[in-house]
A and B are shown apart, each in its own frame.
Chain A
């Protein structure tokens, strides 16, 4: 059976992780943790899993690191060609479709799930999930092994019509909770906020992440 967010364990360079993207009125916020593990070993503790596909379109990588990165690179190239052909910035849906086409065609060989999110002029902020070759637009999407632990939290906390700052806070809290519980997620939190005017990348270090009732107080 296949469960959203639970990837098979790959032995060499897995990106079992926590990723999420959420739409607000006028843009999107993407977030990810930074841990890459190979079995019990953390091979990279500061990997940025938010990959740029175009000026205002990013994707979040999860599953096998190699597969996910390759898909992102190929789609980056295909989007460049496409945007030159149409003579304007590509739509987010186009980027998501390109990712979906690869995921679906090679679904037996690949083991990666990318969440595609961005802003375009026609439909504003959009988030697309492309798990296993489906394409669906959602108000928010979570993925990676850590996502299982935060389904309850995001179901309870998500409200329609949140502002940009509320969305950022929501993403950071969700990442922090998942990183605390999932052995394959950890490190720092990467955040990307995309709206009409700017694309902002941010890193939130471990000790600046929100803590919860059962954790010792943050470092001063």
Chain B
């Protein structure tokens, strides 16, 4: 279905995609584009959803090899639901991220998958964790990934502020995705956005023609 887009000039391997997550005052926004392409020439799906729910208030975006990422997520979902039954409460976001990290680190020679995990839990509120290709786990306020992310490093550095409001953060994430999709030819389609707060998770889809337009469009 989706082939790795060999972007050797920037990093080893990255999927043709743009994913991001950002924290705001009271929650997180996690989002992605929706294009799956074969070798950067044929768009095999225009509307694939790359934001996967692993628990009520915990979502993940995948980077790297899609096959590896799907396999890891399936295992992680199982581990997490078992863990939450044992703990008799909802899992913490760091639990979900740690499960992914363990799988990625222990199998680092075979796997090529990275994740952005974002969610809300009662203990620490909104959090974002990045599990990189080799299995490093770090917590970040805002993070971007995928081949399209290269083009928006400057935008995110300049425009992100901690403790934005929900609307500001949603606009920031939509703009960042739109800019990346505008420059990266293997990212595109619609923007999938999920807003996670104490009260739950809300999934919005912004179709291509409703995405913000910039000066040259």
What is A's interface to B at a CB cutoff of 8 Å? 3, 6, 148-160, 173-174, 177-178, 180-181, 212-214
Q: Are A149 and B215 in contact (CB under 8 A)?
A: no
Q: Does B166 contact A (CB under 8 A)?
A: no
Interface size class, chain B: 20 to 34
Complex CA distance for A151 and B155, rounded to whole angstroms: 8
Q: A148-B150, A150-B153 are in contact. Are A155 and B183 (CB under 8 A)?
A: yes
What is B's interface to A at a CB cutoff of 8 Å? 9-10, 141, 150-162, 175-176, 179-180, 182-183, 214-216
> Chain B's nearest CB lies how many Å from the CB of A136?
13
Q: A212-B158, A213-B162 are in contact. Are A155 and B216 (CB under 8 A)?
A: yes
A-B contact pairs, 6 of them (CB 8 A): A151-B152, A152-B155, A153-B158, A155-B216, A157-B158, A181-B154
Q: A6-B9, A155-B214 are in contact. Are A149 and B154 (CB under 8 A)?
A: yes
> Chain B's nearest CB lies how many Å from the CB of A205?
20
Q: B216: which A residues are within 8 A, CB to CB?
A: 155
Q: A180: which B residues are within 8 A, CB to CB?
A: 157
Q: B175: which A residues are within 8 A, CB to CB?
A: 156
Complex CA distance for A149 and B9, rounded to whole angstroms: 13
Q: Which residue of chain B has its CB nearest to the CB of A214?
A: B157
Q: Are A155 and B182 in contact (CB under 8 A)?
A: yes
Complex CA distance for A174 and B161, rounded to whole angstroms: 17
> Chain B's nearest CB lies how many Å from the CB of A99?
24
Q: Which residue of chain B has its CB nearest to the CB of A158?
A: B215
